[in-house]
Amino acid sequence: MTIEDKSVDTIVIGGGLVGAAMTYGLLRAGQRVIMLDEGDVALRASRGNFGLVWVSSKGEFMPEYARWSRRSADVWAEFAGELEQDSGISPAYHKPGGLSFCLSEDELARKREQIERMSGYNGNLGYGAEMLDRQQMDEIFPGLGPDVLGGAYSPHDGHASPLHLLRALHKAIQIRGGRYVNEATAQTIEKDGTGYAVSTAKGSFRGAQVVLAAGHGNRWLAPMVGLDLPLIPEKGEILVTERARSLMPMPTHLLRQTAEGTIMMGDSHEDTGYSTASRTSVMSDLARHAIRCFPALAQLRIVRSWGAVRILTPDGCPIYQQSQTHPGVFSVNCHSGVTLAGAHALALAPALAQGALGPEFDAFHSRRFANGTVHASAH
């Protein structure tokens, strides 16, 4: 087995949304980068992403994550524009704001409590989310079902196409001189002089730094470099309708209309291990809930559905950290690869290009789970 390209600055393990955003950001920072991808045998959470760039409910019990999500949303327009200019592919990003529906008094009380708790998290930037009564909801989102009592609106929420985003990142990586190696599952990571050697079926690659961005694969790679990552599989199911005229002025926490006109329904959470097999009962519940919120969906045909095993940490917030035993090896783990793509490319990757995670990332270290107290936040 040969060692290839001894001069690369960073090897990124993982070619999904997180790995590709990190690779793109490192290339922007002037690094030479190899991105190793497992190939289509991977769980591919990136291709099961719902596509929300969502701020209003993230980090309820972790203000640092609320601010990090907001920072990403604030740079998303710049990120999307630059990516389209580089790749010629638009990630179809739109920021019309977002709605959350409440169908009971308990849900209204819970949402009101969440907004009150998070209202001070963003300082001078402001939070912006507010409760709406049914009349106010009707004025900005016509066609709601009678069971919707009210909800919340945030001007900082939006949505994008996960598939277009992933394709644009891969194309831009090639154009910026990055090297993409497919079907190259990382088998071992070992110290090699002042850097690291990563062995794969496609050969061994050496870099001064390594970024673990392999989704669930990080759980198995982490022990090789002295890390312990508490990652949990969570399956989500998505239903997609036939194309329709413009029905939805903005995305919601469980529905969004794509640029092509199809409507996506999501918001299921299942513990099925690493199985992506779909269950009729879950799909039926999703459709029933969606129609209850927006009855016009009952007139549309479902044309596709899929399940994806998403990455979750015990509190739903990201883990970013450098190995203490293997300096120069970083791990990037999160559930929201679309929401955080802007921050990953324009803020986290430049930090790693400097060789360190600054104090602003301390809160995202996995040591926060050490005392066993976990407040799960919306993710």
| pLDDT on residue 4 | 54
Q: 85 Cβ partners below 8 Å, 6+ apart?
A: none
Mean pLDDT of 189-212: 96
Q: Which two tokens stand for residue 176?
A: 């910026």
Percentage above 90 pLDDT, the chain: 87
In tens, the pLDDT along 345-369 reads: 999 999 999 999 999 999 999 999 9
Mean pLDDT of 20-42: 94
CA separation for the pair 234, 146 (Å, rounded): 31
Q: Is the pLDDT of residue 186 over 70?
A: yes
> Which range among 3-17, 106-120, 164-178, 272-286 shows the weakest confidence by mean pLDDT?
3-17
313 vs 4, which has greater pLDDT? 313
In terms of phi and psi (left: phi > 0; alpha: psi -120 to 50; beta: otherwise), the region of 147 is alpha
376: amino acid identity, one letter: A
Phi, psi of 33 (to 5 degrees): -135, 140
CA distances from 352 to 32, 80, 321 (A): 13, 21, 10
The 10 Å Cβ neighbour count of residue 62 is: 20
CA separation for the pair 251, 264 (Å, rounded): 10
| pLDDT on residue 297 | 98
**pLDDT band for position 115 (cuts 50, 70, 90):** very high
Q: Is the pLDDT of residue 130 over 90?
A: yes
**pLDDT band for position 70 (cuts 50, 70, 90):** very high
State the helix-helix crossing angle for 162-175 and 17-28, rounded to 10 degrees.
40
Q: Is the pLDDT of residue 3 over 70?
A: no
DSSP letters, 197-249, are EEEETTEEEEEEEEEE--TTHHHHHGGGGT-----EEEEEEEEEEPP-S---S
Q: Is the pLDDT of residue 45 over 90?
A: no
Mean of the per-residue pLDDT values of the chain: 94
Query: Measured over all CA atoms, what is the biggest interatomic distance in the chain, rounded to whole angstroms?
Result: 67
CA distances from 161 to 73, 91, 260 (A): 15, 6, 10
Q: Taking Cα atoms as reference points, which of 171, 176, 181, 177 lies closest to residue 205?
A: 181
Q: Is the pLDDT of residue 48 over 80?
A: yes
| pLDDT on residue 39 | 84
Cα dihedral value 56, 60, 62, 66, nearest 10:
10
CA separation for the pair 37, 180 (Å, rounded): 7
| pLDDT on residue 123 | 87
Mean pLDDT of 49-59: 94
Q: Is the pLDDT of residue 93 over 60?
A: yes
Q: Taking Cα atoms as reference points, which of 97, 17, 18 lies closest to residue 54?
A: 97
Query: Tokens 């390209």 identify what position?
Result: 5
User: Which sign does the torsion angle of CA 16, 17, 20, 23 carry?
Assistant: negative
CA separation for the pair 117, 59 (Å, rounded): 10
| pLDDT on residue 373 | 67
| pLDDT on residue 1 | 43
Q: Is the pLDDT of residue 254 over 50?
A: yes
Q: Is the pLDDT of residue 376 over 80?
A: no
In tens, the pLDDT along 260-307 reads: 999 999 989 999 898 888 889 999 999 999 999 999 999 999 999 999
